[in-house]
Chains A and B, each alone.
Chain A
Amino acid sequence: MISAAEYQQLDGLALAALVRKKEVTATELLEAALARSAQVNPRINAIVTPMHEIARDRARQALTGPFAGVPFLLKDIQEDYAGVTTSAGSRAFRNYRPVRHAHFVQRLLDAGVVVFGKTNTPELALKGTTEPALFGATRNPWNLDHTAGGSSGGSAAAVAAGIVPIAGASDGGGSIRIPAACCGLFGFRPSRGRVSAGPAFGEVWEGASSEHVITRSVRDSAAILDVLQGAVSGDPFRITPPERSYLEETQREPRKLRIAFSTHSPIGMGVDPECVSAVQDTARLLEGMGHTVLEDAPKIDGAAVAECFLLMYFGHVAATVASARKLTGARENDFEMDTRVLALMGRSLPAGEYVAAHARWNEFARTLGEFHQQYDLYLTPTLAQAPARIGSQDTPLAERIGVWPILALGMGKALLRSGLVQKSARVSLARVPFTQLSNITGTPSMSVPLHWTKAGLPIGVHFIARFGEEATLFQLAAQLEQVRPWKDQRPSI
């Protein structure tokens, strides 16, 4: 048996070690996770689809792998578990049951995890907060009035509340790093192509989206990436494999790094002084560790990044809405109003303009690539504002811009040209303007929980590395974890 306190204190690798040494069984761990879930989930609404029976069956089997017996949660989008709904936070997909596991899920199962549920996400993972109409808001264990961030908000809340040490997440615009920052966790986004999105997808969001996990410990994240990395037959390309295991990297000292930092919002909106001081503190800490830290930023037009990112959104949301019709018979009004507005934009946007916007990604990747010839890492806040209050961002896009008649009349072209949606989206982006650069350039990045506000809410600091250099990030993260440990920072929930 394992006590609740001990279960919540250990990371995934430590729990697996207990199982391996037969000090505890997979079933005991699972029951500890379920007990903790029963205790806190009603308050945080992190898990939306329980899979207890599947999990209990599995926990009794002879499991092998580095995470054999460790309780695990999947994000309820993309991370398909055969036979269990993948709702993507949407009424349109609430009855959609994939017939195959995602490669992501299969590899985790091969590593021995025991999946017992799926976690909340905003509809189609489109937002930096997790408040879908279908399941309601996920709440932040650090303060139940505040958001857990998004789009992997359910997973982050579950990990922060001690239900699991690790949970599945995906990041197309910051969706691993943002909720990790909001919940005081480690959130790591791998390089484009590092983890397969198959078999359901070749690339998600033009390759902007990466699958991985949110964890408490750095080593769990590294060891999970060791399990997940590497293309599967049928993937669109194969990137250079890592030199050595990422877990090993967490035990290696980083070389003396050159790190640039900036605290300015790339879209020219305000940044909370607490988020600024999180970065400044970190800069001092890094200098104290012997790294070279300089204030500098790549010469990238942040507004252009936001605009290109948004046009990609338009196209993909519209295509998803169309695919829902074929896949589940869903109708347009099964989607939330904001989603419908985005879809209308995607149906109004000429393909030629879409392609022209995508071509601009090159500028960003190239400028960041040149910046990275000078600096190993680029440090910024993860969030521009501390986690918002639940509901403070839920004025629907549609309402804000008075879009009802336009939707009804299908006057998408006029709305597109008015720029109203783009402007409104920039308002939403104002809270989280730092993370999309990594997505659009395909580079690896991470949020490290080094700072808590005076009000006791976590905010993270954010690092971007060169393409393919996950190792550098893991080395530094482990070093930071050692000098400024966060494992004993726990919400009082």
Chain B
Amino acid sequence: MISAEEYRRHDALGLAELVRSRQVSASELLEAAIARSAEVNPKLNAIIIPMHELARERAQQNLEGPFAGVPFLTKDLFQEYAGVQTAFGCKGLKAAHYKPDIHAEITARWLKAGAVVFGRTNTPEFGAKGITEPEAWGPTRNPWNLERIPGGSSGGSASAVAAGIVPMAGANDGGGSIRIPAAYCGLFGLKPGRGRTPWGPQMSEAMHGAAMNHVVSRSVRDSAAMLDATHGSDTGSLCHLAPPARSYLEEVSRALGKLRIAFSTRSPIGSTVDPEAIKAVTDATRLLESLGHHVEEAEPQVDGLQLAKDFIVMWFAQCAATVRQIKRRTGCGNEGFELDTLAMAAFGEASRASEYVEGYWRWGDYTRQLGEFHQKYDLYMTPTLAHPAPRVGQIATPQWQHVAMKILMALGLSRVILKSGMIEQMVQENLKWVPFTQLGNLTGVPGMSVPLHWTPDGLPLGVHFLASHGGEGLLFQLAGQLEQAKPWKDKWPSL
């Protein structure tokens, strides 16, 4: 048996070690996780699709792998689990009780690593927001303050990990969706580089490689060991990356030479940055210097506002394609989608393939510009978030705007809006909370959020690092060093 307190004190590798040395069984761990979930999930709404019976059966089997017997959650966006309801945060898909008949490759690799999956976590519709408040399932809350958001789109997973339901949970990141909720919830979140983890068999790449699968976790080594278990292309991948020089787990404890680190606290879209977010970075600068690194203020020559616009226009088109696909798959109509989603899809339908391609070409420019920057600096550091967590419901689209959108869409005026200055306004409104993370997605480089700062109100804030292509190992090395120098493992919400 394991006490509730002891269950929470261990990271995933720690729990796996207990199972391996037969101090505890997989079933006992699972029951501890389910008990914790029963205790806190009603307050958090992090897990929306429980899979207790499947998990109980699995926990009784002979499990192998580095995480054998460790309770685990997947995000309800992709990360399909054969036979289990999957909704992508979407009303129409939820109503259709959609159940995929095969695992996603990433899920298969998590299972091969021995994880015991016992539920799927909340996400905004199609993961399209930095908050987790889908109409289909209701909002997820932040364990550090139930009035606040856990961020998104992997908000359910981050909330569950921060609340101690699991030490690590599945997440994915197409604009910051691993790093943002990790930062809001005081966790470690690493987005691997383009092509590092698989998207098959459902996709070759998600969002042209901007989006990647991985996890949010409490400990750095859990994230590293899980990436060891999941990295590498699959049959249909369009990206087949050079493999890492050594295991990521090994990197975590490897001695690190002196790094050249550039930092900036300026929002790339010109929006305001909260003094606490700035303090998170300036404190980190001092910490890094004390660890012997060279730190200086510098920014890559990237047009941040244009990048944000290209990002959002790409989202619209992706959203349009997804809505098409789900309508075809389920036969549902517009009632199956949130109004915000329909508006995004309408913009995606109204924008032209040629505009999409022109935007995509600029990704190449950003990648080159960041590549040039990385010839001078090993890492680029910014805040992960521009502000501490806002209140639940605070970022929701106002009712009057919903009404206006309905009218405009009915009149077929999406293209008029697209050509007006409204896109820029949308960029400002949607990205002002989280303007730092998209650079890592469009350039495909690995990035991470490290929980190094808490506001006087007790809200976590992350510090964000981007490495160059293939730099996951370097990120793990630095994260390991920071975790040791300024540990966060004893910081727990009072939930």
Contact = CB atoms under 8 A, between A and B. Distances in A.
Interface stretch (A2-10, A154-162, A345-353, A480-488): A345-353
18 contacts: A192-B238, A202-B363, A233-B371, A233-B374, A234-B372, A237-B239, A237-B241, A318-B354, A319-B354, A350-B353, A351-B351, A352-B316, A352-B319, A352-B349, A353-B321, A354-B317, A355-B317, A441-B238
A234 B368 contact: yes
Interface residues of B, number: 60
A232 B469 CA distance: 10
Contact of B353 (A191, A199, A234, A353): A353
B354 A346 contact: yes
A206 B364 CA distance: 11
A290 B276 CA distance: 70
Given A315-B356, A354-B356, A468-B240, A201 B364 contact: yes
Interface in B328-347: 345
Given A318-B353, A351-B320, A362-B236, A237 B444 contact: yes
Contacts of B194: 236-237
B204 interface: yes
Interface stretch (B32-40, B106-114, B121-129, B195-203): B195-203
A406 B297 CA distance: 55
A240 B358 CA distance: 29
A471 to B, nearest CB: 14
A239 B361 CA distance: 20
Contacts of B13: none
B468 A233 contact: yes
Contact of B316 (A193, A238, A351): A351
Contacts of B368: 198-199, 202, 234
A239 B240 contact: yes
Listed residue (B318, B370, B371) with the most chain A CB atoms within 10 angstroms of its CB: B371
Contacts of B367: 202, 234-236
Nearest to A318: B354
B204 A237 contact: no
Nearest to A239: B240
A238 B320 contact: no
A362 B239 CA distance: 12
A369 interface: yes
Those 10 A-B pairs whose CB atoms lie nearest each other, nearest first: A202-B364, A352-B320, A234-B371, A366-B236, A318-B354, A315-B353, A234-B368, A351-B317, A369-B235, A354-B353
Contact of A351 (B348, B363, B470): B348
Nearest to A232: B371
A237 B368 CA distance: 11
B193 interface: yes
Contacts of B470: 238
Contacts, number: 177
A465 to B, nearest CB: 13
Contact of B357 (A241, A318, A441): A318
A301 interface: no
Interface of A: 191-193, 198-199, 201-203, 206-207, 231-241, 311, 314-316, 318-319, 321-323, 343, 346-356, 359, 361-363, 365-366, 369-370, 373, 441-442, 467-468
Given A362-B204, A366-B204, A318 B352 contact: yes
A309 to B, nearest CB: 14
B411 interface: no
Interface string B197-241: 000111111001100000000000000000000000101111111
Given A351-B317, A351-B349, A442 B242 contact: no
B353 A323 contact: no
B236 A352 contact: no
A369 B238 CA distance: 11
Contacts of A347: 352-354
Interface in B449-484: 468-470
Contact of B239 (A239, A343, A361): A239
Given A202-B368, A362-B202, A370-B235, A350 B374 contact: no
A352 B238 contact: no
B236 A351 contact: no
A351 B350 CA distance: 7
B241 A238 contact: yes
B351 to A, nearest CB: 4
B355 interface: yes
B324 interface: yes
A355 B356 contact: yes
B375 interface: yes
A188 B348 CA distance: 38
B354 A234 contact: no
Given A201-B361, A311-B353, A366-B200, 4 more contacts: A202-B368, A240-B240, A240-B243, A365-B238
B301 interface: no
Contacts of B237: 365, 467
A369 B240 CA distance: 12
Contacts of B233: 467
Contact of B235 (A191, A231, A353, A366): A366
Given A240-B242, A352-B321, A362-B204, A202 B361 contact: yes
A235 B368 CA distance: 6
Nearest to B468: A233
B321 A359 contact: yes
A198 to B, nearest CB: 6
Contacts of B355: 319, 351
A161 B304 CA distance: 50
B325 interface: yes
A355 B318 contact: yes
Given A349-B352, A350-B353, A239 B242 contact: yes
A352 B317 contact: yes
B448 to A, nearest CB: 18
B354 A343 contact: yes
Nearest to B358: A319
A89 B193 CA distance: 36
A244 to B, nearest CB: 15
Contacts of A240: 240-243
